[in-house]
Amino acid sequence: MSPDPSLLIQLTQIQMPFGRYKGTFLCDLPVSYLEWFEQKGFPQGRLGILLQTIYEIKLNGLEYLLTPLRKTRFNR
């Protein structure tokens, strides 16, 4: 399975559809919330993949990769 570059874009454009952080962009979710999913299990499907991706990005200090994409979101 090859990496999907559109995942990074989606992390800055898609909002959490349910729960405590409903309406929060996935890239803005707190690490503690993502850790909870890590322990309890990520949802199935695309949302689960996106949440796992942002968790890994934040866990490894790679949030700077999303900075240019966030700027694009706000310049629309």
37 lies in which domain range? 6-70
6-44: per-residue pLDDT in tens?
A: 889 999 999 999 999 999 999 999 999 999 999 999 999
- This prediction's pTM: 0.86
Domain assignment present for residue 75? The answer is: no
Asked if pLDDT for residue 49 goes beyond 70, the answer is yes
* Residue 1 placed within a domain: no
When divided into structural domains, the chain yields a total of 1
Residue 3 φ then ψ, to 5°: -60, 150
Residue 76 lies in a domain: no
